[in-house]
A and B are shown apart, each in its own frame.
Chain A
C-alpha cells in the first residue's frame, strides 16, 4: 500500500468517526443511552418541525410620536398655568403639531419661550394670538427608533416571564419585530401577551359635568361607536368617553358601560413597581395586585387625598377596568385591579404590567402557527421520504453499477452522516424543506459517482487496464462533477441569503450536502477503489 493511500484512508476514517460521534446525539433513540460526556449537540429543529409560532409585528411608531406630542401639549399647558399665562387653548392638531392660543398678545413671548425651553419644538407659524409648533424631525425619528428597540425589549421581558424555551425576538427592517416561539402550545395566550400595549392609566371621572341626555348605563358592545358619535360635541374639552367591558357570565353577552373621564391621567403604568395575581378577599375573584414605586406612591397619595369621595378609573389600553370610589387617602402605594379576570388572565396581565407598556401599539403582519401534531407529522413524513428515497437510490446504484455501485452507496451514506453531523456542529436549524434538501443531496450527490463510473466504463471500453481506467475516470470526470455542483451551490447561496426560515434550512442542508459530497464521492470512493485494486491485480472491474 502506498503512502498517499494510507493518508487518504486515515483522513476518510477520521471523517467517518468524527461525523458519527457528532451525528449520534441527533438520533432520538440513541441520545438517551449516550454517556453525558459525549460531545455534540442535538440537531436544532425549525418551527415547522417542532411546532411553534412565527410572528411578525409592525411597531406603529407613528403613534409613539403622536402621544409624545400630546404629552408636550399638556406640559405646555401646565407650564403656562404655573406661569400665569392665560391660554385660550392648546391642542394637538396632527401627530406632530401643536396649536396654542394666548388670550393676551403680551403673553406670546413667554409662551414661545416655554415652547423653546422644551427643546424639541420648532415654531412653524405665528399669526396674531395663534402659534403653531411642530416636533423637530430629528426628534420624531429618535422617538420612532426608540419605540422599536423599546418594544423589542418589552416583548422580550414578557416572553421571558411567560416562559418559552429559546425564543427569538429581533428587530427586522426599520419597524418590524420578528418573534419566534418554538413549542408554544397556548397560542392565543401568547398572542394576547405580546400584542397588549398594556398602557395602564389612572384617570379621574368627570362627575360634575351633566350631559344631556345622561350617559346610558350600558349599551351593547356594537353600539359603542354610536355613543361616541352622539356625545362627540357635547363633552367638555379635556374630557373623553371610555368604556368598561362587561361580560354577562350566564349568557356570555358583552355590553359596554361608558364613563366620562378626564383626559389627563393622574399617573401611568410606568410608576408601577410590582404586579402580581391575587385573589380579592371580597369577591374571591382573581385580580391584579400592584405596588407603586416611591414617585407613584407620592402622586397616588396626593391624588387620593384631594379626591376623597370621587371616583377614579383604572384604565388599561383605553378600556376601563374598574372605577372605584376613593374612600380615603391611600398612602401605602398599593392597590388592585379587578375586572372579572380568570386566573390565567390575571396572571398574564400582571406579566405585561411588570414588563411595562409598549411604547406604541403593535400591528400583526404575519402569524404562522404550527401545531405540534403537524410538526411531528412532518417529521414522520420527511423521515419516511428520506429513508425510502435513499433506499431507491442505493438499490438502483447497486443494481446498475454492481460492486462499484455499492461503493457509491457507501459514499451516499457517508454523505448523509457527515451532513447531519455538520448541521449539528454548525448549530444549523433543520426545517422541513431542509429534510427535502437532504434527500436532494442524496439524489444529486450520487450523480458525481455516476459521472465517474460512466467515464470508467468508457475507459475500460478503450481497452485500458482496470487501474488505468479508474484513474482516468476520476481525473476526466472531475471538472464535470465540479461544474455540476457549482451551479447548484450558486442557487443555494442565493436562497440562503434571501430565504425565510424554512427555506434557509433548505439552502443550508443542500449546500452543505453538496460540498460534503465532493469529499465523499471523490475522495471517499477513490480510497475504496484504490484499496480494492492495490491488493491484487483486477482483471475485471465490477461496474
Chain B
C-alpha cells in the first residue's frame, strides 16, 4: 500500500505562503515566551507554587456551591473541575499565601463546612511552595538551553552550516508553534508540557534529517540541475516516508491522548501538535530556508570534498562544464573539472578544490569531513 504515490509538488513555490503561516505561528510562541518572562502566562503550579487536589465525595456536588465554598474560605481564584457524575472534584489554587502544609487541609475543611452531609476524602494532592517553583523554573530553563545546545551541536556536526541553521530554525519553529497553541488555547504550561516540548524538539528533527539527507544526496548526484529543482525533487521523493514516520508516532500519541488519562492529557496534546508541526516544518520551513539562503553566487551548500567523493560518470564532467548552471552546481563545476584531471584554470579563493584533492589521499585537515561523507555514502 502507498498513501502517497509519486508526487511532483512545487513545495518551494509555496514558500512565501508557508513563511507567512510559520511567521504567525512562531510569533504566537514568542508572545507566549514574553508573557512567561513577564510572569503573566498560564504556568502550572509546579512553576508558580500553589496547590491542587483531587477530592472524592460521597454524593454529587454542585460546582457553583463548591466554588462558593472555596471563595468563602479565601481561595478566590481557585479553579474547579468535576469528573465522573460530579463526585470527583479537581481543585487548583495558585499563588499560596498560607503555609504549604495547611492548604489541602483548608480546602477540605471548606468543603466539609459547606457540605456537612457529604463527606469527602482527598485522593491525591500536591502543594508546592514558591521556593520549589522558582528552582523548578531555573531547572527547566537549563534543561531547555542544554537540549537545544545539544541538538544544535549535533546538527552542526552532522550537516554543513547552512543545513544546520535551517534545521535549527525549523526546530525552534516547531517548539514555538506548540507553545503558541498552548497560549492561544490558554492551556497550562506544566513541567510535563515542557518535557513534551523538549521531546518534540528532538523528534521533529527526524523528518528534517530525512529530507536533508536526500537533498544532500541529490546535490551530489544531480549536479547539473538547479537547486530549486533538486530540493523540490528531494522533498517529493521522501514525502511518503516523512508522512508515514510521523503518522506512526501520531497514532501512538493519539492513543495516549484519548486513553492515557488526565495527567498525561496535555503532554499528549503537545506531542500531537508537535508531530504535525514537525512534519510541516521539515517540508515548508527547513527546506525553503535552505533555498532562500543559498547565498551569493559561488558559495556552496555542501562541502566540495563531499562532492568529490562521489564518483562522476565519465563524460558527464564535460557536459557539466558546458552547461549553464545555478550557483551551487557552478561551484561544483570547478571541482568536477579538476577531478577530471583538467588544470584548475582560475585561482580558487578558498583553495577548496585543492583540499578536495588532498582529501582524497586522506591526509588533509578535511579528513574528518570526508570520513563523514564516506559514512554517508
Once bound together, how far apart are the Cα atoms of A392 and B105, in whole Å? 44
Asked if A498 and B151 make an inter-chain contact with CB atoms under 8 angstroms apart, the answer reads no
Q: Is B252 an interface residue (CB 8 A)?
A: yes
Residues on B with C-beta less than 8 A from A268 are none
Our pick among A48, A390, A440, A451 for the contact of B263 (Cβ within 8 Å) is A48
Given A385-B256, A440-B253, A510 contacting B199 (CB threshold 8 A): yes
Our pick among B132, B150, B202, B213 for the contact of A366 (Cβ within 8 Å) is B132
Given A400-B3, A486-B154, A503-B191, A381 contacting B259 (CB threshold 8 A): yes
Our pick among B1, B3, B203, B241 for the contact of A451 (Cβ within 8 Å) is B241
Our pick among A392, A433, A484, A498 for the contact of B139 (Cβ within 8 Å) is A498
Asked if A447 and B245 make an inter-chain contact with CB atoms under 8 angstroms apart, the answer reads yes
Chain B contact residues: over half helix, strand or loop, or mixed? helix
Asked if A367 and B104 make an inter-chain contact with CB atoms under 8 angstroms apart, the answer reads yes
Chain A contact residues: over half helix, strand or loop, or mixed? helix
Q: Is B56 an interface residue (CB 8 A)?
A: yes
Q: Is B205 an interface residue (CB 8 A)?
A: yes
Once bound together, how far apart are the Cα atoms of A48 and B203, in whole Å? 26
Chain A nearest CB, measured from B267 CB (Å): 6
Asked if B143 and A371 make an inter-chain contact with CB atoms under 8 angstroms apart, the answer reads no
Given A371-B124, A377-B261, A454-B241, A484 contacting B268 (CB threshold 8 A): no
> In chain A, residues 480-524, which have Cβ atoms closer than 8 Å to a Cβ of chain B?
480, 483-484, 486-495, 497-500, 502-503, 506, 510
Residues on A with C-beta less than 8 A from B154 are 486-487, 490
Q: Is A118 an interface residue (CB 8 A)?
A: no
Q: Is B185 an interface residue (CB 8 A)?
A: no
Q: Is B195 an interface residue (CB 8 A)?
A: yes
Residues on A with C-beta less than 8 A from B332 are none
Once bound together, how far apart are the Cα atoms of A86 and B136, in whole Å? 55
Q: Is B249 an interface residue (CB 8 A)?
A: yes
Once bound together, how far apart are the Cα atoms of A512 and B375, in whole Å? 25
Chain B nearest CB, measured from A173 CB (Å): 8
Interface size on A, residues (CB 8 A): 74
Closest B residue, CB atoms, query A489:
B202
Our pick among A191, A368, A396 for the contact of B248 (Cβ within 8 Å) is A396
Residues on B with C-beta less than 8 A from A533 are none
Asked if A494 and B251 make an inter-chain contact with CB atoms under 8 angstroms apart, the answer reads no
A182-200, CB under 8 A of B: which get 1 and which 0? Answer: 0000011001000100000
B188-208, CB under 8 A of A: which get 1 and which 0? Answer: 000110010011011101100
Q: Is A364 an interface residue (CB 8 A)?
A: yes
Chain B nearest CB, measured from A434 CB (Å): 11
Asked if A389 and B254 make an inter-chain contact with CB atoms under 8 angstroms apart, the answer reads yes
Q: Is B255 an interface residue (CB 8 A)?
A: yes
Q: Is A466 an interface residue (CB 8 A)?
A: no
Chain A nearest CB, measured from B4 CB (Å): 10
B138-182, CB under 8 A of A: which get 1 and which 0? Answer: 011011001100110011001000000000000000000000000
Residues on A with C-beta less than 8 A from B183 are none
Given A393-B248, A443-B249, A498 contacting B142 (CB threshold 8 A): yes
Chain A nearest CB, measured from B109 CB (Å): 12
Asked if B123 and A373 make an inter-chain contact with CB atoms under 8 angstroms apart, the answer reads yes
Q: Is A369 an interface residue (CB 8 A)?
A: yes
Once bound together, how far apart are the Cα atoms of A316 and B222, in whole Å? 85
Q: Is B27 an interface residue (CB 8 A)?
A: no
Residues on B with C-beta less than 8 A from A384 are 259-260
A356-381, CB under 8 A of B: which get 1 and which 0? Answer: 00000001111111110110011001
Asked if B206 and A442 make an inter-chain contact with CB atoms under 8 angstroms apart, the answer reads no
Once bound together, how far apart are the Cα atoms of A9 and B271, in whole Å? 36
Residues on B with C-beta less than 8 A from A510 are 199
Q: Show 8 A/B contacts (Cβ-Cβ < 8 Å), sorted by A.
A: A364-B101, A367-B125, A385-B258, A389-B256, A392-B254, A444-B206, A494-B150, A498-B139
Instruction: Identify the 8 closest CB pairs spanning chains A and B, nearest first.
Output: A443-B252, A389-B255, A381-B261, A371-B123, A491-B202, A484-B206, A443-B249, A454-B241
Chain B contacts to A: CB under 8 angstroms: 1, 3, 54, 56, 99-101, 104-105, 122-129, 131-132, 136, 139-140, 142-143, 146-147, 150-151, 154-155, 158, 191-192, 195, 198-199, 201-203, 205-206, 209-210, 213, 237-238, 240-241, 244-245, 247-256, 258-261, 263-264, 267-268, 271, 375-376
Chain A contacts to B: CB under 8 angstroms: 48, 51, 56, 58, 187-188, 191, 195, 363-371, 373-374, 377-378, 381-382, 384-386, 388-390, 392-393, 396-397, 399-402, 432-433, 435-436, 439-440, 442-444, 446-447, 450-451, 454, 458, 479-480, 483-484, 486-495, 497-500, 502-503, 506, 510
Besides A439-B252, A494-B146, 7 other A-B contacts (C-beta < 8 A): A366-B132, A373-B56, A381-B260, A388-B259, A389-B252, A444-B206, A444-B249
